[in-house]
């Protein structure tokens, strides 16, 4: 029953904010919230290309956690906005290590959903001794089958009307490779071309991210397109066009490296963006992973059933349950 679903923790403000120069011309925004002496946790936002928000602070008990949120390279409040230079999965893994050292955490809890789960797995497999635990939601591992599902043949069969909006800016002759076709437009020198492509790209995600879309399900289909929206679409396309700089299947193949790390994996049964098969396969290879399938839920962290399981997981790692 929905009455039993947990609500997020009350809104809080950071006690420290800053920008970390990570080289290559990038400065990443970070903030620390909650208890300065609490259990270290880092929130890894999705996309790639979106950014952390004040809502993400509310996933953790501020009395028990020292919460680090940051905007990855080119995202949100990090600069330069939308930059693709020196912006790969492994640059971001290195940035995470820099942030861990900056905050003085010997080990920390990783919390990530969707692309954030990808980055959490990549980091943990490189630095398993620095990870105390993991909370993952809507797991995405960057395999070709996962990308093809969302951008070639799969999700379009469930959302044929919304798929037409994604195809809209792309001529028929280029529709056999949407990632490449969008890449050309999202990097066009004409901002109007970039904006049109970003509107369609982000609209497709907005129409599929929750189990029930809003009125019209159009997402970012009208109004001006912000620089942030263009940056998000460019970075996401950039990563997907390069297979996230991962070897095919490596994150699941290397899960043995995480054998000593406890984890909670939260998955919406009707997640169309990152279907359950990926998180299920990961959990089957990871004995210490507690797998939580949420009925009646899609991909977004804010769906009541998903949010409820995430809050229970953060409480459990904090020793409250």
Active site residue 114: yes
Asked whether 159 and 272 are in contact (CB, 8 A), the reply is: yes
Judged by DSSP in three states, 318 sits in coil
Burial 12-25 (b: 16+ CB within 10 A, else e): eebeeeeebebeee
Asked whether 71 and 45 are in contact (CB, 8 A), the reply is: yes
Active-site residue, selected from the candidate residues 271, 279, 290, 315: 271
d(CA 62, CA 314): 11
Handedness of CA 57, 61, 67, 72 (dihedral sign): negative
Active-site residue, selected from the candidate residues 56, 114, 238, 279: 114
List, in order, residues 6 or more apart from 127 with CB less than 8 Å away.
93, 97
Q: Would you say how long the chain is, in residues?
A: 321
| Alpha helices by DSSP H, the chain | 54-57, 89-103, 115-126, 144-151, 160-167, 178-186, 191-208, 227-241, 250-253, 276-284, 304-317
Active site residue 271: yes
In the DSSP assignment, the letter for residue 9 is: P
What are the two backbone dihedrals, phi and then psi, of residue 301, each rounded to the nearest 5 degrees?
A: -65, -25
Torsion, CA 272, CA 282, CA 118, CA 45, rounded to 10: 60
Known catalytic residues are 114, 271, 299
């Amino acid at each position: 029953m929905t009455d039993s679903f947990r609500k997020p923790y009350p809104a809080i403000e950071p006690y420290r904010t800053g920008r970390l120069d990570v080289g290559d011309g990038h400065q990443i925004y970070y903030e620390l919230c909650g208890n300065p002496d609490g259990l270290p946790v880092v929130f890894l936002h999705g996309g790639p290309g979106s950014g952390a928000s004040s809502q993400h602070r509310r996933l953790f008990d501020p009395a028990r956690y020292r919460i680090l949120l940051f905007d990855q390279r080119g995202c949100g409040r990090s600069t330069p906005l939308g930059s693709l230079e020196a912006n790969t999965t492994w640059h971001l893994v290195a940035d995470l290590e820099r942030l861990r050292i900056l905050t003085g955490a010997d080990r920390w809890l990783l919390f990530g959903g969707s692309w954030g789960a990808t980055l959490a797995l990549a980091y943990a497999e490189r630095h398993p001794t620095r990870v105390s635990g993991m909370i993952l939601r809507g797991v995405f591992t960057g395999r070709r089958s996962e990308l093809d599902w969302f951008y070639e043949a799969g999700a379009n069969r469930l959302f044929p009307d919304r798929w037409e909006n994604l195809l809209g800016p792309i001529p028929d002759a280029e529709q056999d490779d949407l990632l490449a076709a969008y890449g050309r437009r999202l990097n066009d020198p004409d901002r109007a071309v970039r904006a049109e492509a970003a509107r369609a790209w982000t609209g497709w995600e907005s129409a599929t991210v929750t189990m029930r879309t809003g009125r019209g399900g159009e997402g970012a289909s009208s109004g001006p397109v912000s620089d942030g929206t263009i940056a998000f679409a460019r970075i996401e396309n950039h990563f997907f066009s390069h297979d996230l700089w991962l070897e095919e299947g490596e994150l699941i193949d290397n899960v043995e490296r995480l054998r000593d790390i406890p984890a909670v994996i939260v998955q919406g049964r009707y997640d169309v963006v990152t279907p359950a098969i990926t998180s299920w396969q990961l959990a089957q290879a990871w004995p210490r992973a507690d797998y939580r399938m949420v009925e009646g839920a899609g991909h977004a962290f804010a769906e009541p059933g998903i949010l409820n399981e995430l809050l229970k997981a953060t409480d459990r790692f904090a020793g409250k349950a």
